[in-house]
Amino acid sequence: MKQLLTKALLLSMIMLLVIAPVSLAKSYKFGHDSLYMGDEWMKVTDKAIHLYAEEQGWEVITQNAHFKVEDQVKQLRYFVENGVDGIIWSPVDAKATVNVAEYCKEHGVPTVTYNTDVDTDAVAINIRFGAKEAATILANEVVDYLKETNGKVEGVVVSLQGDAANDSDRERAVGYKEVFSQYEGINFVEYYTKSDAAAAQRNAFNAIQQYGRPVAIVSQNTLNARGGVKALERADMLVPREEEGHVFVASIGAAPGYIDLMDEGYVDRGLVQPNLFYGPLAMHFLKVIIEEGEDALPEVGETITAEDLKITGGTYDGVTPWSTQVWAPAKVEENYGHKWLKVQGMLVTPDNMHDPTIWGNTAKEWLK
């Protein structure tokens, strides 16, 4: 009998040791307010958020703002009223969403922004890449190409940009312009299309009619870039890479269709945000804020490496999205009075375009 009691006691202790870590782990409920859900980028960003949360034992509720401030305001208030522990969101407008960001903080709900940002210190930290730096990298890729193929940097460069009212879009446009304005031989022609592919095609075609064959087309996103490619096709100027008359195309982003065009030889460079990490990083920081307070966040001026912070997880539909910490290293800067984790972007070329962790390739698997 004594032996049975001893065995039972040992078994109980083992069970407690096994169960205790699970029972002690805190389960959080987060709100995710998406800027919009109209393209593959946002869909895989949201899916990565849900997959990572499930691995941690957390719950996520997603709402779609449809690019509308009034929708986003209602949705963030809904999250607060429904008792979420924190909110991840991509603000529709940096100014118009200030009040709702402050409402969340006043009601004890921390928020972390990604992709876009809001002009208030009520947000704890923002996670996104440097939009201007991304455009600068791509512009310099064009310059290097022109030097290598033509021996000089000259010709018409058509720039297809987004919405002049959007901070990120303006930063991208400035990054391109600052590089090309350094070269007297470049005729830089810029259009804002509000990321409408038809408008991009129309503007690019008009530029071709007015100025002749461009040496390059650069764009704010791949919707614009594909509009530019359509304009080249319409003008009978669509020539594959390494053939005479090829127009070098570089764009921020690498959507599935854009990767296909790169594979076919019609576009040359992309630069992607590490959007599969945006949600996991945001939730990591929300957890830090909830459990330790905002003072536990990294300080402005710090550089965060993959050794300091590593996002890990499983394989889904053949993709292991967090296997390589492409977001790091990231410097902590200040923006709008709060912290900004400025993550790395990834240059997409014909050499690495089939990398499964590039979000466009991930989308081909996840959004079948």
Convert the pLDDT of each residue in 316-327 to its tens digit: 999 999 999 999
Q: How much is the pLDDT for 163?
A: 87
Mean pLDDT to the nearest integer, 101-112: 98
Q: How much is the pLDDT for 153?
A: 98
In terms of Cβ atoms closer than 10 Å to its own Cβ (0-12, 13-18, 19+), residue 10 is exposed
For residue 185, which amino acid is it? G
For residue 2, pLDDT over 70 is answered with no
Convert the pLDDT of each residue in 226-269 to its tens digit: 999 999 999 999 999 999 999 999 999 999 999 999 999 999 99
Q: How much is the pLDDT for 25?
A: 61
Q: How much is the pLDDT for 20?
A: 41
Q: How much is the pLDDT for 14?
A: 46
- Domain 131-272 superfamily per CATH: Response regulator (3.40.50.2300)
Q: Does domain 26-123+274-344 have CATH number 3.40.50.2300?
A: yes
Mean pLDDT to the nearest integer, 49-75: 97
For residue 21, pLDDT over 80 is answered with no
Which residue blocks in the chain are alpha helix, DSSP H? Answer: 2-24, 40-56, 69-81, 98-106, 131-150, 167-180, 197-211, 222-234, 256-264, 275-292, 359-366
* Whether the predicted model's global pTM rises above the 0.95 cut: no
Convert the pLDDT of each residue in 273-307 to its tens digit: 999 999 999 999 999 999 999 999 999 999 999 99
Both tokens assigned to 334: 């200040």
Convert the pLDDT of each residue in 69-94 to its tens digit: 999 999 999 999 999 999 999 999 99
For residue 207, pLDDT over 60 is answered with yes
Mean pLDDT to the nearest integer, 119-148: 97
| Nearest residue to 177 (alpha-carbon basis) of 161, 193, 166 | 161
Mean pLDDT value across the chain? 93
Mean pLDDT to the nearest integer, 320-341: 97
Each domain of the chain, given as residue ranges in start order, spans: 26-123+274-344, 131-272
pLDDT band at 23 (very low <50, low <70, confident <90, very high): very low
How far is 76 from 101, CA to CA, in rounded Å?
A: 8
